[in-house]
Amino acid sequence: MSMSQFTLFKALRLSLLLPLLSSFLVNQAHARRRPTTSQRPTTTSICDYYTPQILGADTAAAQQLLITLLVNTFVIGNYTTPNTGHAVAGIAAPAVYNGTEVALLPYFTGELNSTNTGGDSEVGASKLFLDDGAAEPLARNMSSAGDVQSAQYNLLTHIYQYFGHLLGCSRQGAPAFPNYQGRTSMYEVHRYMNLDYTQMTFFITQVRDSAISLGIAPADAAVLVDILNTSFNTRCSPATVITYQREGQQQQIGDTPEFQAVCIADDCPLAPEADCAAYPLNGRALVPVNVTGLADSGSNSTGSGSGSGSGSGGDTGSAGNETTTSGGADGPVQTGGAAAVGAGFLGGQVWEVLLTILVVMFSVEMPSLGREA
């Protein structure tokens, strides 16, 4: 290999590294501008305040987009602008949370009999939710690849709608952003998952981090944490209607009190006025099992996901002190959990890019050590 070829090789490697360095510096600049305190008036909802702040518009479509960015980011991790540089691993990636392995993906792939498809069975059913594009459309701010009959479309749009209410989107209800159309009992949605406290706290940490990554102040992200914690993260909570604030008025999701407990495993904290006897099986569920014959993908670790209607989560009782590792998400990341779950979930796009870079970088013969070129 001649010296000129080697010089070209070094230049090529530099040209590949410069965009990565540029992306890192941009993320760091965003991170320095990240709000540390909330300036949101208490009479203005999180959705109404941050939609024009982040997206520059105050329409139903803009509010729907803000919630889409929030949800898609806590599912697949950092992937888009706006992005303050705050790292989000995403719930799709296997992780270690406070020393415990957490695997959420099996609840989306049909590996576990954890889905409530209706009826009075004591066990759930196996259902594939990633049936229309998996992560790829999420990375394009979509719920699915376009099949409105798919389970993926139904799941993600219901989550968008539910979180839109929780965050008080005043424009919701217009054609561009419909009201929630799924089940209103979050216990019924999640009853066969047997979710424990670690699963819930990991989920809510990803929701919180997603909000901060978009530019929502940590103090306001903590408001969302509190909503999810008080609504869903205690075992055997009495039947209730989930309420939220919209334009200064209290609104509700559903018309009648229903069970809302999502954290139902034995280690979940009991609600202050717990009524376990009112729940099926005294508020517990059978541990879901792998029914597909697939190789173990972490489903024996603690893990959670979203059921047939909407996602929900619980508080990190020690928010800010938890430790999460997932694909090296120690700093600003671009793909988060999307990369960690591999080619099967991403359609291979990430791995194709990496392979292309490797082929280009090493297609030129390296100079032999100790020999003149």
CA 336 vs CA 34, 245, 339, 346: distances in Å:
19, 32, 6, 12
60-76 helix and 46-55 helix, angle to the nearest 10 degrees:
90
Going 106 to 107 to 108 to 113, the CA torsion angle's sign is positive
* Peptide bond preceding 82 in cis form (omega within 30 of 0): yes
Dihedral Cα 218, 223, 225, 228, nearest 10 deg: -160
Could you tell me if 142 and 152 are in contact, meaning their C-beta atoms sit under 8 angstroms apart? no
Strand partners, 172: 174
CB-CB neighbours of 85 under 10 Å: 20
**Which is nearest to 227 in space by CA: 244, 241, 210?**
244
pLDDT at residue 295, rounded to an integer:
46
Tokens of 289: 């099992």
Q: What is the DSSP string of 71-91?
A: HHHHHH-S-SSS--S-----T
Query: Which of 166, 172, 210 minimizes the C-alpha distance to 75?
Result: 210
Angle between helices 218-232 and 151-166 (to 10 degrees): 110
pLDDT by residue, tens only, the chain of 373 residues: 444 444 433 443 433 343 333 344 334 434 434 454 679 998 999 999 999 999 999 999 999 999 999 999 999 999 977 789 999 999 999 999 999 999 888 988 999 999 998 877 888 999 999 999 999 999 999 999 999 999 999 999 999 999 999 999 999 999 999 999 999 999 999 999 999 999 999 999 999 999 999 999 999 999 999 999 999 999 999 999 999 988 888 999 999 999 999 999 999 999 999 999 999 999 988 889 999 865 444 433 444 333 334 433 333 344 444 555 554 333 333 334 444 343 334 433 333 333 333 333 333 332 333 333 3
23 Cβ partners below 8 Å, 6+ apart?
334
Q: Which pLDDT value is given to residue 123? A: 87
Compute how many other C-beta atoms are within 10 angstroms of the C-beta atom of residue 39: 10
Q: Give the other-Cβ count within 10 Å of 126's Cβ.
A: 17
Q: Are 207 and 25 in contact (CB under 8 A)?
A: no
Q: pLDDT at position 308, please?
A: 36
pLDDT of residue 107: 87
Question: How high is the pLDDT of residue 120?
Answer: 76
Give 367's DSSP letter: P
Measure Cα distances from 32 to 23, 86, 160, 222 in Å: 14, 10, 29, 20
The pLDDT score that the predictor gives to residue 27 is 41
pLDDT score at 37: 64
Q: Which of 156, 111, 133 is nearest to 295 (CA)?
A: 111
359 neighbors 108 (Cβ within 8 angstroms) = no
